[in-house]
Amino acid sequence: MKKIFLFTLLLAMVFPFSVLAENYPYRSDVLWVTVPDHANWVYKTGEKATVEIQFYKYGIPQDGVTVNYELGGDMMPADSKGSVVLKDGKATIKIGTMKQPGFRDCRMTATVNGKTYKHHVKVGFSPEKIQPYTKMPADFKEFWDNNKAELAKCPLKYTKKLAEEYCTDKVDCYLVKLQVNSRGQAIYGYLFYPKNAKKGSCPVVLCPPGAGIKTIKEPLRHKYYAEQGCIRFEIEIHGLNPEMTAEEFKEISNAFNGRENGYLNNSLENRDNYYMKRVYLACVRSIDLLTSLPEWDGKNVAVQGGSQGGALALITTGLDSRVTACVANHPALSDMAGYMAGRAGGYPHFFRVPGMDTPDKLKTMAYYDVVNFARQIKVPTYITWGYNDDVCPPTTSYAVYNVLDCPKEALITPINEHWTSGDTEYGQLAWILRHLNK
């Protein structure tokens, strides 16, 4: 029964109906199924974990196939290796245990007819006890209060024009260019209103973007926010007009977003000059804009995002007392220096690049790490993450969630890698609507 339930759950969570009509996984000849012997994939430290693996090709259990595996901590090198032979498409792997709270990863490969297929499964050991490596700088609040005070001296300036291509019978959309500092730097965003929104009637929702230098993709993807009565501001963070072509965005990204020179590395050795300072303050300035709108209801300000956007949602909530609710998916920029403790650190995984663990850079990270903003949050917060995520690993999501001292809820979806389903994303709007101040 447990196996049937897990398989059904995978189908329901991963793929929209149009894809389900084709196949699961999408257009793949093979299917891996992993069934830990604890249904929630969670163990206490010291308990031993076992996982049953199943491997199918064309829906047929693969008998006699050798599965090679390696075991290690979350995002850590393997500490042991082995192999099992499938019988009727199944085998069992002993994952072992952990003495300290964290995650253990079983990474598998199987070769059939000369082609190698990969999969992995992570299980947690007392993850509710994970604490961040990152410490709070003594002047953290002073540093950010001073920067917000400087921002407040800059008058709110923006332009707004109708984006007819994204208007519907229920939604009006505007392209906004918002100045974010006294140097004239700006960001762009699409501002969605309910059609014929009345003065003082709408909660506002800020949506910061995921990582990268890229255009705002599918602006109408979350139109249901405006359809349900919210004003939603979906932004980019680099000052690049989303009306540029995809080719132009790609050229800029290739030029300025390499591993060795990416914006997340830019001036990391200096907290005052670090690239992300402008980004964090741009999110505050976006709240300035949203709360200046006549249609704002005067009470409700939510922030919602995933990955880098999830990080910025939590950061903005920690920075700005006007925010009344926060929703984040698998937040990046979380316990980034965690690798110093011999375990997974958060995206962008600075320590994969030589020379990133200098004292100056480690010091700056602490002023920009999500866990220190999470420590400031007092309003309702909702976070979702998966265990199999190798971009924003579960160790770091727990490090954030466990330090929250506020009304909080978590949706944990163990099988998920770095994605959320459409149903999960719509559920976040439902959560926001349930937490509106009346």
Report the SS3 class of residue 52: strand
**pLDDT score recorded for residue 217:** 82
297, 320, 335, 389: the active-site residue: 389
Identity of the amino acid at 152: A
Q: Greater confidence, 266 or 22?
A: 266
Percent over 70 (pLDDT), the chain = 94
Which of 104-118, 132-146, 213-227 is least confident?
Answer: 213-227
Residue 22 binned pLDDT confidence (cut-offs 50, 70, 90)? low
Largest Cα–Cα distance in the chain? 70
Give the architecture (CATH level 2) of 140-434: 3-Layer(aba) Sandwich (3.40)
Is residue 4 pLDDT above 70, yes or no? no
Is the pLDDT score of 411 beyond 80? yes
pLDDT band at residue 195 using 50, 70 and 90 as cut-offs: very high
Contact 234, 283 (CB under 8 A): no
* Residue 266 clears pLDDT 70, i.e. is over it: yes
Does the pTM exceed 0.85?
yes
- Predicted local confidence at residue 352, as pLDDT: 85
CATH class of 28-129: mainly beta
pLDDT at residue 356 in the model = 85
Compute the average pLDDT of residues 390-415.
97
**Greater model confidence, 382 or 354:** 382
Average pLDDT of the residues of the chain: 93
* Average pLDDT of the residues in 371-397: 98
E-strand spans in 98-195? Answer: 102-112, 115-125, 158-162, 171-179, 186-194
State the pLDDT confidence band at 379, using cuts at 50, 70 and 90: very high
User: Out of 253, 307, 334, 397, which one is annotated catalytic?
Assistant: 307
User: Is pLDDT at 21 greater than 60 in this prediction?
Assistant: no
50, two tokens: 């076992």
Where residue 86 falls among pLDDT bands split at 50, 70, 90?
Answer: very high
Q: Judge whether residue 3 has pLDDT over 50.
A: no
Query: Within a 10 A sphere around the Cβ of 32, how many other Cβ atoms?
Result: 18
Residue 23 is predicted with a pLDDT of 56
DSSP helix, strand, coil percent of the chain (3-state; round to 5): 30, 30, 40
Confidence class of residue 126 from pLDDT cuts 50, 70 and 90? very high
Cα(first)–Cα(last) distance of the chain, in Å? 44
Q: What is the pLDDT of residues 307-326, one digit of tens each?
A: 999 999 999 999 999 999 99
The reply to whether 28-129 and 140-434 are identical in fold is no
Q: Does the annotation mark 389 as catalytic?
A: yes
Average pLDDT for residues 164-168, to the nearest whole number? 97
- In this prediction, residue 18 carries a pLDDT of 40
* Structure confidence by residue, pLDDT tens digits, 213-263: 988 888 999 999 999 999 999 999 999 999 998 889 889 888 888 766 789
Among 115-124, 156-165, 351-360, the minimum mean pLDDT is found in 351-360
In the three-class reduction of DSSP (H, G, I as helix; E, B as strand; rest coil), residue 313 is classed as helix
Give the residue extent of every domain in the chain. Answer: 28-129, 140-434
| Rounded alpha-carbon distances, angstroms, from residue 243 to 34, 166, 174 | 44, 12, 12
Q: How far apart are CA 423 and CA 14, in angstroms?
A: 10
Question: 330, 349, 418, 435: which one is catalytic?
Answer: 418
For 72-83, write each residue's pLDDT tens digit. Answer: 999 999 999 999
